[in-house]
Structure 1
Amino acid sequence: MDVEKFIEPSSTYHMLGGDDPYSYAQNSEYQKQLVVSAEELIYKLIDKHLDIEKPSFDPNNIFRIGDFGCSIGPNTFFAVENIIKSVENKYKSNIKNPRIPEYHVFFNDHVDNDFNALFRNIPITRKYFPAGVPGSFHGRLFPNATLHFVHCSTALHWLSRIPKEVTETNSTAFNKGRIHYTGAKKEVKEAYSTQYRKDIKSFLSARAQELVPGGLMALVILGFPVGVLTSESSIGIGFNILGSCLEDMVRMNFSEQFTYVID
């Protein structure tokens, strides 16, 4: 067993927990719309590619689903319900054996994620047995051939760590005065791009081992059309505005308030 694959990164960032007006649960409408937009695509994926004739999909076995980067809800519950509904339709379409399996759902996020809020808000009418799996999805989290379906929505743009080059003052990729790479030098972009390639490779390698033969994976990832610069996108513009506001707060000696908000 490679122990390094199970080590949590030194710095982790999680969504704001709880149920108050500033929590992720109350401020994740954008992420919800992306989950909704993928609903039909996931249904078609399962209907076309889920081979329930394979031994690993025998309805007598438990069907295991993993949602990576689940945060605290409610979006993760909507995504899981959609997956289960699609899987049930697939099993019911089997004329020879229309039975459906039981479901075990694993909700994954960083160890500091508010799992108490997650399970406090879990639907009472759920058709599955839930479990929390704390840890970074950039490494292994399950034994070999455990999961039948992997889902990850609007989470893979988060890196496992900040590239050290952008924080070193003597580096050509030093990203002083910015909270993002929009408008930065080529070296800054390359540093983030290199780290992303490492992270996405680690994620896919881990999931390849954790999926059963014939298992499926659905990833909802942010992207931009060819030719559109990040700085011209709504997200890029938003980061630039936020960065400008944070700089103004520092100039106005709001450092204590700023630290409190970030925490």
Structure 2
Amino acid sequence: MAAEETRFSEAYAMTGGDGPNSYAKNSAYQRGVTDAAKEPLKKAIAEKLDINILLSSNTFHIADLGCSVGPNTFFVVNNILESVQSKYQSKGPNSQIPEFQVFFNDHITNDFNMLFKSLPQNRQYYAAGVPGSFYGRIFPNASIHFVHSSFTNHWLSRVPKDVVDQNCPAWNKGKIHYSNSTDEVMRAFEAQFSEDIECFLHARAQEIVNGGLMVLTIAGRPDGTPHSHASANVTFQLLGSCLMDMARKGVVSEDKIDAFNMPMYYMSPQELEAAVELNGCFRIEGMEVLPDVSTLNVTETAPSIVLHIRAATEGLFKQQFGEEILDELFDLYCKNLVEQHYIFKSTKAINFLAVLKRKAN
């Protein structure tokens, strides 16, 4: 039987390799969040995982969605594996610990070569790379026991088409993000998020076995916080203003800016709850805000913040504006970040962990 057609989406890969601007060298913040999520993750497995979901198989299948190039994905997988092993061992000395198969998933443009080169030599699992967008099906029916994804769900499958169409009321002229934009722009991004999160949950509902777990670590905003007061949104608002400064100097075309938006949306816990309820295939077993791992002094940490943002987004800017503007853009961004650090004083951000369990059909 043919595999279900994968939903079309744009590909946004992190910067590959191990150079100074690479994701591998500039993802310490994500590693901090991974460390903060370690104990809640272990608790979720200890309390919510039903080891009887293996049925006749003796292979436990784990998928990490949006794995990028490492090393963070390897730390997470190791935490999951150790916790599942402990769960089996708690059932008594005669309980048989399964073998583990780990699927590392990311966009087809991800640097899988770097990922595979970085695989831990002493790993206790079989590893496989699975390319494709998680907004469509990427695994067979009822084949995965545990899904993990961290810092991925704020990426949309695509930019809403209306915000880059000058004939639409939602045209986001002169801006690259929905923060502080018109109501029409905001509604376009909200609609895209709603469509995407339903596609994500629908695909996972088919792939995860009944009783299987999915743990999501999400970069978001607190309930009730306006989008214009979300820290990440203000970050991209400032980056967009840097592009407009460069346009005024003739370095980039303003038309290219008008045709460009960041494919991101920072959800609140309430929005995720509503999406899970609408989908109907999962039960939320737990949701908690993780401890803040950011550094408050923006002026001192501006260079590392810029490297972090660049590692995640330079592929987008390179595709739209060309590689030659990247250094100037991010140097200007660093300068403005220091000079305008005060704009972040009233902003808010959270990272929250959600534990979802696949309901029985």
Q: Same fold (TM over 0.5)?
A: yes
1:7: Cα distance to partner? 4.5
Distance in structure 2 (CA, Å) of the matches to 1:55 and 1:164: 41
1:48 counterpart = 2:47? yes
Q: Which residue of 1 aligns with 2:66?
A: 69
| Contact persistence 1:8–1:135 (CA under 8 A) | no
Q: Which residue of 2 aligns with 1:131?
A: 128
Judging changes above 3 Å, is the alpha-carbon distance between structure 1 residues 55 and 24 closer, same or farther for their aligned structure 2 residues?
closer
1:247: Cα distance to partner? 1.5
Distance in structure 1 (CA, Å) of the matches to 2:38 and 2:101: 20
Identity among equivalent pairs (%): 51
3-state SS of paired residue (1:88): helix
- The residue correspondences of 1:81-92 to structure 2 (distance < 5 A) are 81-92=78-89
Q: Which residue of 2 aligns with 1:24?
A: 23
Judging changes above 3 Å, is the alpha-carbon distance between structure 1 residues 51 and 97 closer, same or farther for their aligned structure 2 residues?
farther
1:233 counterpart = 2:230? yes
For structure 1, which segment, 177-186 or 95-104, has the greater mean C-alpha deviation from structure 2 after superposition?
95-104
- The residue correspondences of 1:206-221 to structure 2 (distance < 5 A) are 206-221=203-218
1:226: Cα distance to partner? 2.6
- The gaps in structure 1 that reach 5 residues or longer are none
Deviations 1:82-126 (A, max 9, x none): 100110110110126332111100000110110001111111111
3-state SS of paired residue (2:172): coil
Q: Which residue type is aligned with residue 176 of structure 1?
A: K
1:4: Cα distance to partner? 6.7
Q: Which residue of 2 aligns with 1:146?
A: 143
Deviations 1:54-108 (A, max 9, x none): 25256x6110100011111111111111100110110110126332111100000
Deviations 1:200-227 (A, max 9, x none): 1111111111111211100111222233
RMSD: 2.0
| Contact persistence 2:63–2:102 (CA under 8 A) | yes
| Contact persistence 1:92–1:100 (CA under 8 A) | yes
| Contact persistence 1:51–1:57 (CA under 8 A) | no
Q: Which residue of 2 aligns with 1:172?
A: 169
Q: Which residue of 1 aligns with 2:346?
A: none
Give the alignment partner of residue 103 of structure 1, picking from 90, 100, 112: 100
Give the alignment partner of residue 219 of structure 2, picking from 218, 222, 231: 222
1:38: Cα distance to partner? 1.2
Distance in structure 2 (CA, Å) of the matches to 1:89 and 1:29: 28
3-state SS of paired residue (2:130): strand
3-state SS of paired residue (1:104): strand
Q: Which residue of 1 aligns with 2:5?
A: 5
Q: Which residue type is aligned with residue 144 of structure 1?
A: N
Q: Which residue of 2 aligns with 1:244?
A: 241
Distance in structure 1 (CA, Å) of the matches to 2:220 and 2:3: 33
1:252: Cα distance to partner? 2.3
Give the alignment partner of residue 113 of structure 1, picking from 95, 110, 113: 110
Q: Which residue of 1 aligns with 2:36?
A: 37
1:203 counterpart = 2:200? yes
3-state SS of paired residue (2:147): strand
- The gaps in structure 2 that reach 5 residues or longer are 254-317, 327-361
1:170: Cα distance to partner? 1.6
Judging changes above 3 Å, is the alpha-carbon distance between structure 1 residues 209 and 74 closer, same or farther for their aligned structure 2 residues?
same
Question: How many residue pairs end up in the alignment?
Answer: 259
Judging changes above 3 Å, is the alpha-carbon distance between structure 1 residues 213 and 3 closer, same or farther for their aligned structure 2 residues?
closer
3-state SS of paired residue (2:68): coil
1:158 counterpart = 2:221? no
Distance in structure 2 (CA, Å) of the matches to 1:2 and 1:192: 33
Q: Which residue type is aligned with residue 230 of structure 2?
A: S
Q: Which residue type is aligned with residue 19 of structure 2?
A: D
| Contact persistence 2:12–2:107 (CA under 8 A) | yes
Deviation beyond 3 Å, 4+ runs, structure 1: 1-5, 255-258
